[in-house]
Every structure is written in structure tokens, then in C-alpha cells.
């Protein structure tokens, strides 16, 4: 039977909640430009596929995705939709509160919109833990692939770069137009890097301004990084690495009393 | 090519926006108990299938669904998720504001969660029209099937009743367990009816309290109405009636300068 | 003794609360243009006279009116005052919370501003019922006169039309300038009607935009409908029909334990 | 013709706005216990009668009253209704914004609920002046009778005391039950007084806590002060003093370009 | 040992809280133009020195200052920083809530920014008393020096006038440039005064508009009053008077059970 | 002359703003338990000393500190004060907006409360950049000492550990009680680390729950890490490393047109 909550009647949901040992997964993405070779929904697809694969392996309950994220810096390209972070906090808080009321008190937020959504999720998670007595974990692919990305010879985290593209090629090949990919190699800036693997001194991440994002989008269609180096097989290894970690997080939560 | 925005790159989105003549469709549903024979996601599925069919017939741009709605009265059964209406207003407002920024200024909100979500959508629509200079239409299946429901011999609007069930049988037969359906015929109350076809004096709709909803859910698993009388063929006629109306709304908007 | 709370000392209020069996009536109106023949306060006057007549017949406690409503679409004419719906929700919530603290836990909101105010009242009523354990009924003259309006040969609900004007002629004849009334017959639009008696398919109500309201106000001074057909005697029958219904609602609430 | 905006059609309002030279008066009161001898609506009646008398003498436009104020400390007695100050700010801000849009840009807020409502009115007034380019004056009877109260031999400002009672005896004699008045003489506390005429060192006013207000209400039915010393003739002089000042404020505003 | 909370470890704080008998002092100021002879931080310095001196004499716990206040009318001069009053309410509420959780339930807010900050502090104090069960006192130098200012021959409360300047000369002589002081004598306006010692009829205080404040700042660098008449010895007497009052307030709170 | 804005008259501020080339530094800390050997104000002292030293070297304007931060997880020990993150966002936004109005449009937020405050600062920074057209940098000592901490042989970032303690020993030796320091070595948890230097897969940071923080505080007085290994000389090198980086950020901003 499907791991998705929306497919179940409430009777089936009742059984699934028991079998899940109280663990739910909430996939959260974004609808934002991903250059000329990836679809706008990339971040949501990533969250959805991670949630689904882990849900099937573990009996965690997977709830319908939050398709929209915080993407103010990508409004420079058509199709991007951005939601205020305070609204995303309230939305996700209410999802968590409803789940908790039904006994799903150990919740994993999967952030398909690497790094950016983490910020408001942290505020949401703290409030939910304090007020609702739940346990929240934030699972972000960029932070959860630090061990593998170097091994695979993939470059640093950028946007629509070889990491994301390889992953999409493995899971959603029909939605990738690799022939349209353009490279925009990441230049090192003194005292600033968004890559979680970066080991030197750095300022903290703030989304780009409109002007800055516009300039950047004009260079290579909106990519930061080298998507032409993408590879479906690396995408597979990357995906399995993430799933292994996600399953480990689910099982650790299930093992808690 | 798919009518869904999330499947497109921003270049494809740019073309789709032009071809749409500025019309976007936002499917909005709910995740709430639909008795023992329908899935929790019923309202979202309804919004999604209406949006998709009309999108394909008209070149309107269809954006990813808002899966969660305002369902405080259905928290009595496991799996229901309810979001505060003020959060839903803010979320939908931001979706509209982003679409408007890309030239999609004529927007149809499809309410799969018949009658209930209409309330916050009206507040959202007025604010968006006034502040963003957009045109918003709220398309609700219950209000848009007044002409056909009587003809088909379907009873009044309730919950998980023969209208909704017939529709689901036609579009999502695998998710319907008709053998689990239980009837809970709608009793006429003096001075109160939620059915938009009701022609007599009535108080206005307010979602049930927890206590009242609980009592009601104990009778027939959460149905109000007679789902055992459902019929896939009636569902097909009902669906086509709605699509005809929805296409008419899209085309009227496309014809506006 | 007067049914109005504001005229009583707290000792008298204490007695009145007991005698009311816990039922209070809150008249809520608007201050908005009602064409050239009706006063700006029309909607508030309607709510006040309904509340007062029913209060006197039933011992329900009547509280001072909320004079201002949600009227963004009528700002096109001088004197209209509009309040944000979220503020009206908070205001009315606090009135309800205070009444509940004194034992008035069954509350009728009378909407003199037909159809429009209903929206925010629904959100307010649900929140109050859930958080405060009260019972809220929304009494709207347009929904409560469906049975009588046809009988009287009055046209559909518009604005400052023959229904509202007849009612004012019966209750506040000095404030009506029938000689200034201008007709603006309601044209049927495909797939849209605001009249609650309308039995065909329709989109849901959203207040007009400024531009649309302006055009409309230029035609007949702000009327939608045919006020020249108004008649005080029809107003009397309409009023008594509403009072009969309102008294029935009060008595049904008083009969609840 | 009446000075009240609600009695006018929009055409009459248009003329009245011109004749007012842009000045509007907003009466703001409260519904709160006023001991056993005065009605709950006392503060609103005070604001209404001041507004009306000054409106008639000056052609200022008088708008419908805000009946409810901030009265958390009087919830100890039945019938009191208290609104959160942030809601009152938003409500009054929207009234001002609507008036300003129609050309009424010099606005006097009359505070019938002496001293207490002033606080939120100050925040509202500053925001309105800054954002809307209007001029706001806050007219409070306690601050505007400092010159006359001593002359009349009335005691300090308390609650339902001889000042307020005398005023009500002059303007609303039918609503005063002087035979029920009980005295509760104001005791001087070191470093604290709420009376605006007090000339010594003092802490600033904060509404009493529930516990404190309860104790106080048990002594003399809710009075602080000596209402038995009230006198309708003193009430008349007091009223005329306030009207003289209010007319002076209106005329000063009308004289501004 | 220092009375400042921030200098203590939590073990030392635990002892200090016990010794304080539950009394904490929160100094609150502003960063705003104080003409050409006083520093921008004047109001904060005033609050800090009062808090510190009283803290040392009484064992009240003194917490780090809130440096920023509500100063919209002083944005006309460089360096002024203004915070929305609703934010200041929330900030101070959270400080109070945290202190209360550690047993500091009798809290004095010292307002170095005379008169202006009082408004939002009153709203904050009422909410905190009602929701948190604490006791709040608002100590404002202008209200607490009514007895001494006349005696010292200092003029009325204005801005950067001889009262404030004398006080700064006594406590922070290095930050005063008396040679830059310019006089701008306070002119009596009919029916308006901001001075708490004023004994005649008056409208209530509302911060000046930008335009008005600009005109005023052009006259004497931003002073209202006669700073050239300042005197350090008068500043000393004024300071000691305030400290005597503040110590009396602390001791009265400490004496409460 | 001092780099602190509060010490300047507005005339001096005007000159300082010009000389700063538009760069301001806002020190932001916390008041929270730092075990038994460090003061509650540690995080604010760190922000203040970094801001001051860099201000003096560069002519950046340094504004008064925001003493209070987001510390819900440290409420387990007396003296901790926590502010809601949404309030901190609003407060800091208003500071930035005021600075921008005076020409200080390149602003560095220094986070003395390592890692935790970063979250709300990111939301604040994005909103300020987008709405106010300013440039915001977030300078966090933990992220800006990745290069030096390993060299100095200091352990991972915890709380009140050897990094923070060494820094305080160098800058505020009188406030450190090293004899009270207790060690609580950081144990590696699978898939979770708060240290920004951590190079392996990890979940994202969420502040501890009350229960978890309580357990932790019972072990070593509130330390996480090994403060007994602290060393003032290492503190000096660490401080100078941070100042070098902070000066570089200021100068880079000053060099922008």
C-alpha cells in the first residue's frame, strides 16, 4: 500500500499511524527557476522522491507536499513563486499540530530547496517542539551529502548545478533537458561561501538581492555551478546515500519510546 | 506538453504564460476524513483533476496544488490536517502575487473542498484584486453544479455523499472503497441548510464544533448523505458539466483584454 | 425595560443575563453609500431594528451595534467607511469573549450588511465556537428572506434595491428620499449571481473592484436593482418575516440546555 | 439637518464634508460597569453627546460611535465588554483612513472612557498622522476639565464618581439611579494618582489587575469617588465647559488651511 | 558586587534574585537627536543611571537596557533610531515573561525617554499583569519630578531642555557640550501642553509629525526649552529626588508579600 | 572620538556617517546562562567588543547593542532572557530602516550568540535588503573562526566551552571565574553536529527542548565542551583573527560605490 497519507481513508490512516511508530515525513520544496535545463518544480520533486522512498522502506507516514517555498531571489525568472517565510512557518506549524493531534509526534521536514528553506524551518521546529511537545528533525540534502559529494567528484553546492542535475537525471529523466544546460563555475569570494562543505571562514547565507540574482541569471540561464558535468549514475549513488541517511533518521526516531 | 507549471523550465514557462493569455488555475483542496470509503485527499484530487482537464483544453497555466485546507471540524478522525484560514489567505495571496509578477493576472481558484474553503478565498480574492490589480474567480463545484445535480437525481451537498463519491468513482476508481460506504441521510433542520441549492430561509454556514462533528462521524463513519447511491456514470456527467463551466470561465477571462 | 445592554447598570445586566437564558444578539452593519435615496447607515439601521424587535419579544440581551463593516467596493462614493475584515473578526471575537465570560454563551450575529459581512463572520464564528465553547448563529436578512421575497414580487438582491428600500420605508421613513431613487435593473451574467435565491450555476461572490464599482455607481447613483418599485407595506411584511425567523432562532437557542 | 454621517445619503455627505472644512469627530466610549447607579454605556453616551453638541454648533461631520473600548479591569462585573487595544487601534485607523479618502483630514477622537482609552488612541493617532498625512487631536474630558472641576468643588477623577454622575444627570437623567449610588472616597496613595489634575510626583497609570478591581468593586458597587455628591447643575456647567473647549478645537482646525 | 544581571553567572543570578525579594528594574531609553549639545543616547543614559543607583541601594536586580525607543518625530535629525511601538511592547513583554519565570515578578520599567515611551509601556504593563500575574510599575522622570522641578526654577518639560541638560551635566559631564546649546523657549499654545505639571485644560499628547518636528529642529538645533540655563548642581538635586522616589518604589514592592 | 553612535550629538553623528562611507555595525548578543564560570551577558560582550574594536579601526559607525537574543533552550537556568525571533526580526529591521534613512546603507550584524541568532538574522537581512535597498552582512564568530580554531587546538563549538571562555579571558578577565569551570566533552552523535567546522553528514540545527537542555545543564553547570582548557593567549589570537576578518568585511563594504 502507498505510504502517502492522502491516498488512505481515515481507517487506513489509523492503521498506518500505528505502524509508523509515530513518525511522519513532510516533503517541502519550492517552485523556482532552475536554469534552462531543469523544471521549476525541481526542489519539490527532490523532497517528494526522498520522502516516498524512505516512507516505503520504513512505514513512516508521508504527507502531501508543501510545493511552495521561500524563493525571493529567483523571482527574476518567469514561473518562480515565493511565499513569505512567516507564512511558511505558520503553514508547517499547523501541519505539525494536526499530525501531533493524531499521534504523529516525531516529524521529519525534508527540505528539497537546499539551504534556503532551512532558516524558516528552524524557527518552525523550535516553536513546534516547545509548544506541541513533538520532536522535529530537519533533513536537508546539502547537509546530508557532505560525505558523498566529494567522493563523487561533484562540485560545490550552487543552483541547478551538477549535484541537483545528476539527481534529477536519475529520478526524473524526462524532465531534464541536459542539452540546454550551461555552466557558470562557482568563483571563490573572500569570506563568503554558501556550500556547507566549505571549511574556511565565511559570512552567513542571505538570499541574493533581485539585482544580484538578475545578473547571475543572465550568465548561464540561472545555473550556478557546472550542470554539463552531470551524470545519472552519480545521481543514483547520491540518492541512495540520502535515502540511507533518511532511513537511519526514521529508524532512530522509531526506536525512541 | 503538460499544463502543470512545475514540469516546465522557466523558458517553457515563459512561452506557456504568453499562450495562456494571462490565465492561471490554482487547485486548492484539503486533507480531511471522507468517511470510510473515500481517501483523505479527496478534495485535493477533485481540484487537481478539474484544473488539469481545463488546463489541457484551454492553455491556462495550472500551478501546483495547495493540498491543505481549513478543516477544523474534521479533526475528529485520524489523518485530517487543518490550517488556520489566515495562513491560507497569506499563502494563496503570495502565490497570486508571484503569478501576477510574471504576467498571470487572471486567476481561478478551484475549491475542491466545497463550500468550506470559499470563505477565506473570498477575503484573499478581494485583497488580491484591490492590492495587486488582478482578477480572481472562485470556482466551487457545489455552486457550479446546481444545474446538473438535480437532473442526475443526486441528493443535497453533505460530506462524502453520492455527489463526491460518484465523481471520485469516475476519476479515481482505485481510491474508492464503495463496499465500505455507509449512508447517513441528511435530515432537514428548521432554518438551516448548507446546500447551495436550498431555496428556503436559512442561517449561514459555520463549520461544526468538535463535539457535533464527533457525534456525526460516529453515525456513518463520517459521511453526511447517501454514498451507497453513487454511480460512476453520474460522476462522469457531473465532471463534464464542471469542466464545461470551468472552460467557459477560462475562455471568458482569456477574451478580456 | 429596554433590551439594550448599554442602558443597564451591571446589577440590571446581571438580571437580564439570567432572564435571557444565555442568549445575546449583536447587530452588525456598515456605513456605506446606499445610492441617493438611502442613508449611509442603512445596513446598521437594519441590524439595529431587527435586534431590538427580537430582543423585546424574547428577553435576549441586545448589545450596542458594530456600526462599521467591510465595504471596500463602496469607497467610490463619499461617506463610505471600510474596515479590514481581520480587524472586524478580532473586534467581534472580543465582544463574544466578553459576553461569554458573563454567561452569554449563545450569540446571534445579525448582519445588516447582507451577504458581504457574512464572510468574516464565518471565520469569527468558527474560531469563537472552537476556542470559547460558545454557540454562534449568523443571521443574514438575504438568506432569511428567501421564502418571502418571491412572494412579495421583489426582485433579486442587489444594492439599495427595492428590498432594502421597502424595509427602510417601513422602519425609518424619514431617512428615505424615494424621489431620488434611480433604477439600475440587474442584468443576468453568465455563471455569476450574488442573489442567494439564484438556482443556477454560479461563481462565488467577491466584492467588486474599485473600477467596477465606480462604473456601476455612475449609472444609478449607486443602486443595483429597482428601488422605485419599493413599498412600505411590502417592507412591513418583509420585516415581520425576518422577526418571526429571528425569534424562532432565539427561542431555539433558549430551549437548549 | 443632523450632524451624524450615518443619517445622510452620499450626496448629502458630500455637501456636509465640504461645509465641515475637513473636520470630523469620532466619538469613542466603552461598555463597562459604572457601579450600581450608572449604565454600562456611560462612557459612550458621554462621547456621543459631546460629539453631537459640538457637531451641531460647528458643521463638523460626526461619525457613528465606536461603542466598545479597552476595559480589562472592569470585567469583574457583568456586562463589561473589553476589546484588545491593538484591535481598537486598527479599527480606528481604518475609520480615519476612510474619512481621509473622502477629504476629512482633520479628525478629533473623543474619548468618553476618560484616561484609559487615551493610550491606544495616541498610538493610533501617531500612525495615522505619519502614514495618512492627517491631523489628529485626542479630546479627553478629564484633561479638558482641569480648569472647571476644582471650581465646581468636584473631587478627583475616579470611576462613576461625582463628575461623571453629574454629567449623566444633566444629559441622560433617565439612565441615572442616584438612589443606588454608594461612596468610596479616593484615598491618596504615596507616589500614585490617576487624576490629571494631581500636581505631585506619581507613577504612570496602568489599568488595575482583576484581583485589585474585584476588591475595589466589592466596596461600593464599583464606584471610586463620591457619586452621592453629584448634581445636575454642576453637570450642566461641566458639559458646557467641555463643549466650549471642543468647539474651540474644531474651529482651530477649520481655520487651518 | 554589581547590580547588573549581565555581569553575573547564573549561580550569582540565583542569589541576587533571592536577595532582590523579586524586584527587577528594566532601564528603557531611546537613541534620538537631543539638539547640538547632548548625545543621541541621552534617554538611555538617564534610564541606566537611575536604574544603577537604585539597584545598588536596594538589591533590586537591574537588567541590560533597552537602548531603542519610539522616536518617529525625531527622525528629522541624523542618528535617530525609531522602533515601532508594537515591537517594543513585544520585546519588553518577553523580557518580563523571562524574568517572571525566574521569580522576578515585581518589575519597574524606567522610562528615560520621558512621556513618549509611556504609552506603549502602559499597554505592555497591562498585558503582562493580566497574563503573567506580575506587578509592573512605570517610573517616568517627568512624572516623578513634579514636586522638585518648580522648586529648582526649571522650566516646563520640552526636549533637551534645562531639566535633561542639568541631569546630564551632573551624571555624564563629558558628553555635554553646553557651549553648543541653543534656547527655544516653550510658547504656550491654547488647549495643548505636554508638560505633566500643566494644570490647565489640554488635549492629549501625540508625537509631532515629521514636518512639524523639522520646523522645530531648525529653530534651535532640536531643543525645545532653555538649555543654556542648565546647572549641574540642580541636576544633582533632581537626580537625588528621582533616586529617592525610585528607592521608595522598590522598597514598597519588596515589602509586598 | 568614540565610535559609538549614542555618545554623539546629531551634528557629530552627521560627520561620522559621512566618514563611515555608509557602513554601520550592530552588535547583537543574548542574556543567557553560560555555565558557572561565565556571565549571563557573555554573548553581548563578545558582540560589543568585536564591534568596538573594528569600529575604531575603520570609522564604521557602531550603534548601541541589542542585548537580548533568542535563547529558549537556556531558560532552564536563572537569569536567561529569551525574546521571540519574530520580535527580534522586527526590532532589528527597524534599526536598519532608521540607519538607512540617515545614509547608513551597508550594515553588518554581529552575532555574539553564535549560530543560534543567525536564523532570525537571515530572515531579517533578506527582508531589509529587498524592501530597503540596503546591503546586510551577518558576521558570526563561529563561522568566522573556522580557519583558526583548529590551529589553536580548541575543540568544537558547544556552549561556554574553551573558545568562548578563552575569548572572555582575554577581553573581560574580571568576569570569568575559571575555577568554577566544569568540562562536559562533546560526544559525537550519529548524523548531528552543531559545529560549523563539522565535515560529515548532519541534520540541521534546532535549539534543544527544555527537557534536553535541563539534562545537559545538570551535567556541567551548563557547559558543553571543555572550558577548563581555556587560555587567554589563545583568546587573544582568536579575537585578533575575528577583528582582521571583520575589518576586511567593513573595508570591502566601504570600497563599494
- Encode pLDDT of F183-202 as tens digits: 999 998 999 999 999 999 99
pLDDT, tens digit, for every residue of F124-183? 999 999 999 999 999 999 999 999 999 999 999 999 999 999 999 999 999 999 999 999
Q: How confident is the model at residue B257 (pLDDT cuts 50, 70, 90)?
A: confident
CB contact under 8 A, A95 and B83: yes
Higher pLDDT, D241 or B187: D241
- Angle formed by the axes of helices E118-132 and E85-101, nearest 10°: 40
Query: For residue F120, what pLDDT is reported?
Result: 98
Q: Domain of B249: which CATH number?
A: 3.40.50.10310
Instruction: Work out the percent of chain F whose per-residue pLDDT is above 70.
Output: 100
Query: For residue A47, what pLDDT is reported?
Result: 98
Q: How many CB atoms lie within 10 A of CB E1?
A: 9
Query: For residue E196, what pLDDT is reported?
Result: 94
- List chain E residues with CB under 8 Å of D130: 72, 209-210
Which subunits sit against D, judged by 3+ Cβ pairs under 8 A?
Answer: C, E
**Closest to F11 (Cβ–Cβ): which among E36, E82, E175?**
E36
Q: Which run of H or of E encompasses D146?
A: helix D146-151
**Closest to B7 (Cβ–Cβ): which among A17, A39, A65?**
A39
Which chain F residue has its CA at the smallest distance from E72's CA?
F98
pLDDT, tens digit, for every residue of F80-118? 999 999 999 999 999 999 999 999 999 999 999 999 999
Interface residues of D toward E, Cβ cutoff 8 Å, are 72, 85-86, 111, 118-123, 125-126, 129-130, 136-140, 143-147, 190-191, 197, 199-207, 209-210, 245, 248-249, 252
Interface with B, mutate which of C87, C126, C134, C197 (most B CBs under 10 A): C126
Interface residues of C toward B, Cβ cutoff 8 Å, are 72, 85-86, 111, 118-123, 125-126, 129-130, 136-140, 143-147, 190-191, 197, 199-207, 209-210, 245, 248-249, 252
The C-alpha of D243 sits at a distance from chain E's nearest C-alpha, in angstroms, of 12
Query: For residue B232, what pLDDT is reported?
Result: 98
Are D and B touching by the rule of 3+ CB pairs within 8 Å? no
Q: Please classify residue D195 by burial: count the beta carbons closer than 10 Å to its beta carbon, then call 0-12 exposed, 13-18 middle and 19+ buried.
A: middle
The C-alpha of D18 sits at a distance from chain E's nearest C-alpha, in angstroms, of 25
CB contact under 8 A, F245 and A191: yes
Query: For residue A257, what pLDDT is reported?
Result: 79
- Within chain B, strands assigned E span 23-28, 61-62, 106-111, 135-139
Are A and E touching by the rule of 3+ CB pairs within 8 Å? no
CB contact under 8 A, F125 and A206: yes
pLDDT, tens digit, for every residue of D40-82? 999 999 999 999 999 999 999 999 999 999 999 999 999 999 9
Which chain F residue has its CA at the smallest distance from A85's CA?
F123
pLDDT, tens digit, for every residue of B123-138? 999 999 999 999 999 9
pLDDT, tens digit, for every residue of D192-202? 999 999 999 99
- Mean pLDDT, residues D69-97 taken together: 98
Give D198's DSSP letter.
Answer: -
Q: What predicted TM-score, i.e. pTM, was given to this entire model?
A: 0.98
- Mean pLDDT, residues D110-133 taken together: 97
Radius of gyration of chain F (CA): 18
A132 contacts A96 by C-beta, under 8 angstroms: yes
**Closest to E13 (Cβ–Cβ): which among F40, F66, F221?**
F40
Q: How confident is the model at residue A46 (pLDDT cuts 50, 70, 90)?
A: very high
CB contact under 8 A, B101 and A75: yes
Which subunits sit against F, judged by 3+ Cβ pairs under 8 A?
Answer: A, E
Mean pLDDT of chain C: 97
Would you state the cell numbers that stand for residue A31, as one nine-digit string? 517552485
**The pLDDT of residue B1 is above 90:** no
Which chain D residue has its CA at the smallest distance from C81's CA?
D98
Q: How confident is the model at residue A61 (pLDDT cuts 50, 70, 90)?
A: very high
**Closest to E249 (Cβ–Cβ): which among D111, D121, D203?**
D203
Query: For residue A96, what pLDDT is reported?
Result: 98
Query: For residue B219, what pLDDT is reported?
Result: 87
- List chain B residues with CB under 8 Å of A9: 33-40, 177, 180
Query: For residue B21, what pLDDT is reported?
Result: 98
**The pLDDT of residue C219 is above 90:** no
Interface with A, mutate which of B2, B81, B221 (most A CBs under 10 A): B81
CA quadruple E188, E219, E204, E119: dihedral positive or negative? Answer: negative
- Mean pLDDT, residues E116-124 taken together: 97
Which chain D residue has its CA at the smallest distance from E108's CA?
D203
Query: For residue C231, what pLDDT is reported?
Result: 98
pLDDT, tens digit, for every residue of C118-156? 999 999 999 999 999 999 999 999 999 999 999 999 999
Query: For residue C1, what pLDDT is reported?
Result: 78
Interface with C, mutate which of B93, B201, B205, B249 (most C CBs under 10 A): B201
CB contact under 8 A, E202 and D85: no
**Closest to D200 (Cβ–Cβ): which among E111, E126, E147?**
E147
User: What would the DSSP string read from start to end of C73-140?
Assistant: GGTTSTT-BB--HHHHHHHHHHHHHHHHHTT--EEEEEESSTTTTHHHHHHHHHHHHHHH--EEEEE-
**The pLDDT of residue A1 is above 80:** no
- Is residue F175 classed as helix, strand or coil in its secondary structure? helix
A29 contacts A44 by C-beta, under 8 angstroms: yes
Q: Per this entry, what is the length of chain C?
A: 257
Helix, strand counts (H, E) of chain B: 8, 4
pLDDT, tens digit, for every residue of A143-187? 999 999 999 999 999 999 999 999 999 999 999 999 999 999 999
User: What would the DSSP string read from start to end of D9-36?
Assistant: -HHHHHHHHHHTTTEEEEEE--B--BTT
Domain range enclosing F103: 5-254
Q: How confident is the model at residue A112 (pLDDT cuts 50, 70, 90)?
A: very high
Query: For residue D216, what pLDDT is reported?
Result: 85
- List chain B residues with CB under 8 Å of A84: 90, 94
CB contact under 8 A, D201 and E146: yes
Nearest to D170, CA basis, from D38, D68, D72, D71? D38
Q: How confident is the model at residue B216 (pLDDT cuts 50, 70, 90)?
A: confident
CB pairs under 8 A between E and F: 170
Give chain A's domain count. Answer: 1
Mean pLDDT of chain D: 97
Interface residues of E toward D, Cβ cutoff 8 Å, are 72, 85-86, 111, 118-123, 125-126, 129-130, 136-140, 143-147, 190-191, 197, 199-207, 209-210, 245, 248-249, 252
What's the CA gap between B159 and B161, in Å, rounded? 5
- Mean pLDDT, residues C3-11 taken together: 98
pLDDT, tens digit, for every residue of B60-101? 999 999 999 999 999 999 999 999 999 999 999 999 999 999
What's the CA gap between B67 and A5, in Å, rounded? 11
Amino acid at each position: 500500500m502507498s505510504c502517502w497519507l492522502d491516498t488512505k481513508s481515515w481507517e487506513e490512516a489509523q492503521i498506518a499511524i500505528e505502524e509508523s511508530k509515530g513518525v511522519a515525513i513532510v516533503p517541502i520544496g519550492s517552485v523556482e527557476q532552475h536554469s534552462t535545463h531543469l523544471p521549476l518544480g525541481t526542489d519539490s520533486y527532490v523532497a517528494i522522491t526522498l520522502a516516498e522512498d524512505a516512507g516505503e522502506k520504513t512505514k513512516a507516514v508521508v504527507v502531501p507536499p508543501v510545493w511552495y517555498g521561500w524563493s525571493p531571489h529567483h523571482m527574476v525568472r518567469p514561473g518562480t513563486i515565493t511565499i513569505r517565510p512567516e507564512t511558511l512557518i505558520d503553514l508547517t506549524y499547523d501541519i505539525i499540530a494536526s499530525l501531533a493531534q493524531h499521534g504523529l509526534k516525531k516529524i521529519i521536514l525534508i527540505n528539497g530547496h537546499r539551504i534556503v528553506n532551512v532558516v524558516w524551518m528552524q524557527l518552525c521546529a523550535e516553536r513546534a517542539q516547545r509548544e506541541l511537545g513533538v520532536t522535529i528533525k530537519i533533513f536537508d540534502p546539502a547537509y546530508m551529502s557532505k560525505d558523498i559529494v566529494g567522493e563523487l567528484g561533484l562540485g560545490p553546492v550552487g543552483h541547478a548545478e551538477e549535484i541537483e542535475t545528476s539527481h534529477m537525471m536519475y529520478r526524473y529523466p524526462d524532465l531534464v533537458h541536459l542539452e540546454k544546460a550551461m555552466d557558470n563555475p562557482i568563483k571563490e569570494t573572500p569570506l563568503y561561501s554558501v556550500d556547507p562543505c566549505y571549511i574556511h571562514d565565511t559570512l552567513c547565507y542571505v538570499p541574493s538581492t533581485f539585482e544580484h540574482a538578475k545578473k547571475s541569471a543572465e550568465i548561464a540561464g540561472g545555473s550556478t555551478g557546472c550542470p554539463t558535468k552531470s551524470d545519472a549514475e552519480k545521481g543514483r549513488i547520491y540518492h541512495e546515500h540520502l535515502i540511507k541517511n533518511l532511513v537511519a533518521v526514521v529508524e532512530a526516531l522509531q526506536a525512541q519510546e
